[in-house]
A and B are shown apart, each in its own frame.
Chain A
Amino acid sequence: MSKSKKKASKEWEPNIVTFCCNWCSYAGADLAGVSRFQYPPNIRIIRVMCSGRVDPTFLLKALKDGADGVLLSGCHIGDCHYISGNEYTDERFKKLHKIIIKQLGIDEKRVRLEWVSASEGKRWSEVVTEFTNQIKKLGPFKKSN
Chain B
Amino acid sequence: MTQMKKKGEIKPVFSDNEVYMDKIYEPKMRKLLRRCYQCARCSGICQLSKVQKFTPSRIIQEILEGFEEKIITSGILNDCLTCNSCLQNCPEDVNFADIVRMARYKMRQRDAQCLDDSIAHKAMYTTISELMSYSHMEPKRDLSWVPKECEISDTGEIMYFVGCQPYFKFEFDELDNVPSDTLKIISKIEDKPIVVRKDESCCGHDLYWGQGKFEAFIDLAKKNYELFERAGVSTIITSCAEGYRTLKVEYSKLFDDFSDKFEVKHVLEYIYEKWKQGEIEFKNPDDKLVDVQFTYHDPCRLNRFLPKESTLIEDIREMFGKLKSLGYSFNEMEHNKKNALCCGVSSWMNCNERSKALRYKRLLEAKAAGTTMVTSCPKCILHFSCLQNDFEDIASIEIKDVSEFFVNLIHKVEKKKEVK
Contact = CB atoms under 8 A, between A and B. Distances in A.
Interface of A: 5, 9, 55-57, 60-61, 63-64, 66, 95-96, 99-100, 102-106, 141-145
A138 B141 CA distance: 21
Contacts of B130: 64
A103 B10 contact: no
Contacts of A103: 139-142, 166-167
B391 interface: no
B136 A143 contact: yes
Nearest to A55: B122
Given A5-B2, A144-B135, A145-B9, A57 B140 contact: no
Given A64-B127, A64-B131, A66-B10, A104 B170 contact: no
Contacts of B122: 55, 57
Given A57-B124, A60-B131, A64-B130, A100 B10 contact: no
B24 interface: no
B167 A100 contact: yes
Contacts of B334: none
Contact of A145 (B12, B123, B139): B12
Contacts of A56: 124, 170
B67 interface: no
B124 A104 contact: no
B170 A99 contact: yes
B169 interface: yes
A5 to B, nearest CB: 6
Interface of B: 2, 7, 9-10, 12, 121-124, 127-128, 130-132, 134-142, 166-167, 169-170, 199
Given A95-B170, A99-B170, A145-B12, A60 B137 contact: no
B247 to A, nearest CB: 21
A100 B137 CA distance: 13
Nearest to A58: B122
A57 B140 CA distance: 19
A61 to B, nearest CB: 6
Contacts of B127: 57, 60-61, 64
Contacts of A64: 127, 130-131
Contact of A144 (B12, B121, B139): B12
B132 to A, nearest CB: 7
B140 A100 contact: no
Contacts of B131: 60, 63-64, 104, 106
Contacts of A105: 137-140, 199
A104 B128 contact: yes
Nearest to B171: A95
Given A103-B167, A145-B9, A60 B140 contact: no
5 contacts: A64-B127, A96-B170, A103-B140, A105-B137, A142-B136
B173 to A, nearest CB: 11
B128 to A, nearest CB: 7
A61 B139 CA distance: 17
Contacts of A141: 136
A4 to B, nearest CB: 12
A118 B2 CA distance: 36
Contact of A99 (B10, B135, B137, B169): B169
A47 to B, nearest CB: 19
A141 B137 CA distance: 9
A61 B129 CA distance: 11
B123 A57 contact: yes
A63 B130 CA distance: 11
B166 A104 contact: no
A102 B128 contact: no
B361 to A, nearest CB: 30
Contacts of B124: 55-57, 60
A142 B139 CA distance: 14
Contacts of A102: 140, 142
A142 B2 CA distance: 19
A1 to B, nearest CB: 11
A142 B166 contact: no
Contacts of A96: 170
A105 B10 CA distance: 20
Given A144-B12, A145-B12, A100 B132 contact: no
A135 to B, nearest CB: 16
